[in-house]
Chains A and B, each alone.
Chain A
Amino acid sequence: MKYKILFRKLAKSKKGFDDDFTDIIIGIIFIAIIFIVVFVYITNTQVRIEKAIEKESNNLEKDYILLSYLRTPIEGEKTTIAEYLGYKEKRELVNSRYGTVGINAFCAIKDVSSSGIIPGPTEDGLLVKETNKILEDINDWRVSMYINRENEFCSIEKGRGTKKKSGDITGETAKAVIPSIHQDFNIEIYLKLNIFGFSSLSSI
């Protein structure tokens, strides 16, 4: 009842809440509130759009990086990375991490811990060295190689962002398939990058 009387009084008096100056200030405050809310909404939407686009373009860049990596020639050899793997027999690929009699451990990773009864490899294998050299400008990556998507025979990585568990290569990953000269299997190469660690690719 009280507010009804007040409202009628205001309507009849043809005045605002208070003096003219106060009314102007109130109007300005309302305008500012509207402006801020709409601006925050638009900016937030724009940020979400930019993040979505950045994520998609990073996926495309991974494909480009992977193809460039496979086409890069190995220093001292007459072949590219893809051909080097393609000319290997299945048993050579399977034993590439530790090597065996007559088989080169081209995927061996240097054992820096020097712990354990059996000492690990004393230096990196050829493919590991070449991969580190080709992808040296990228901070955080992981390259995994499979025979027919079943057996992982080689995994090379750098940085702390990528997970170290074998088999965890799904999600934001680029994939390529290359043939083997022995024709009874294909080799699948996966490349996973950490988005925030990506930098220039002057070496590719």
Chain B
Amino acid sequence: MNKTIKTKKATMILFPVALFIMVALIFFYVNYNSKDKFQPANVGDAQMSILETYQQAEKALLYIDLSAKYSANKTIEDLKNKKGSFQNLDCEPLDKSSENQEQEDCIPTKKQVYDAFSADFNSCLDDYLKEYKETELKKGEELIIPKNNYDLLFKENHLIGIAIQNLRINKKNINYSIKPSFNVNIDFDLSEGYLSYFKQESENEEEPEDEGSGEVPEKFSTEEYIKRGGLI
């Protein structure tokens, strides 16, 4: 090393090294300005795509929550007005021994009311879900919201919809799914709400009894029917 420095043999390569450095800098400068080769391509693209997918699902869940609430309101109105599936519910006569039992004195069982509510509700909700379109999806991507997808549960004025299948978002490298269950406050308890409605109806249908009509036929009162396992 010392000998090399003393004889300065290495210094003869200084000129070619300088020339090489100039060429390298020019090459660098030319390629630096070439956007095609030196763009920061797709940095964090995969991570952003996952977060975007999550946000798209959250927007769909918001839509489902609101649709469920509106569908529940509409179904409750149908129940009160005896429309839709509540129109021709089969019922059990209050007094089976009576031969002249009129239809209006019957009340449907809890299961029948629940089934009718569930059918009407799911139908109404499906109509809402058909109208939902996620426009931020690219070609080849899809968002699937299953239809007729809920088992319903009533608890303390809340309607809980337990989803059977998941909501899915399918993209090129991402498959995301989430259970689109909901819990909405509807200010209505199915058993008590229907019961109070029935009570009101049956009170309106009862005619005042004549004093001199003789023996009064025995009828079940509503409370008696409940004790015998009707609506409960």
Contacts and interface: CB of A to CB of B under 8 A. Distances in A.
A177 B12 CA distance: 74
Contacts, number: 102
Interface residues of A, number: 43
B220 interface: no
A131 to B, nearest CB: 17
A178 B73 CA distance: 16
Interface in A47-80: 48-49, 52-53, 56-57, 59-60, 63-64, 67, 70-71
B100 interface: no
Interface string A161-201: 00000000000000111111101001000000000000000
A7 B63 CA distance: 81
Given A53-B44, A56-B48, A179-B131, A20 B8 contact: yes
Contacts of B15: 7, 10, 17
A181 B127 contact: no
Contact of B62 (A14, A27, A178, A181): A178
A86 interface: yes
A38 B29 CA distance: 10
Interface stretch (A29-37, A90-98, A116-124, A134-142): A29-37
A84 to B, nearest CB: 11
Interface string A1-36: 000000100110011110010010011001001100
Contact of A67 (B14, B62, B66, B128): B62
Given A33-B25, A60-B51, A60-B55, A14 B7 contact: yes
A150 B8 CA distance: 82
Contact of B52 (A15, A38, A60, A83): A60
A45 B40 contact: yes
A37 B22 CA distance: 12
B32 interface: yes
A81 to B, nearest CB: 11
B118 to A, nearest CB: 19
B48 A60 contact: yes
B70 interface: yes
Interface of A: 7, 10-11, 14-17, 20, 23, 26-27, 30, 33-34, 37-38, 41, 45, 48-49, 52-53, 56-57, 59-60, 63-64, 67, 70-71, 82-83, 86, 175-181, 183, 186
Interface of B: 7-9, 11-12, 14-15, 17-18, 21, 24-25, 28-29, 32, 38-40, 43-44, 48, 51-52, 55, 58-59, 62-63, 66-67, 69-70, 73-74, 127-128, 131-133, 135-136
Given A37-B25, A177-B132, A181-B70, 9 more contacts: A16-B12, A26-B14, A30-B18, A49-B43, A53-B43, A57-B48, A63-B52, A63-B55, A63-B59
21 contacts: A7-B15, A10-B12, A16-B11, A17-B14, A17-B15, A20-B8, A26-B18, A41-B28, A45-B40, A53-B43, A63-B58, A67-B59, A67-B62, A82-B62, A82-B66, A86-B66, A175-B135, A176-B62, A179-B67, A180-B70, A181-B73
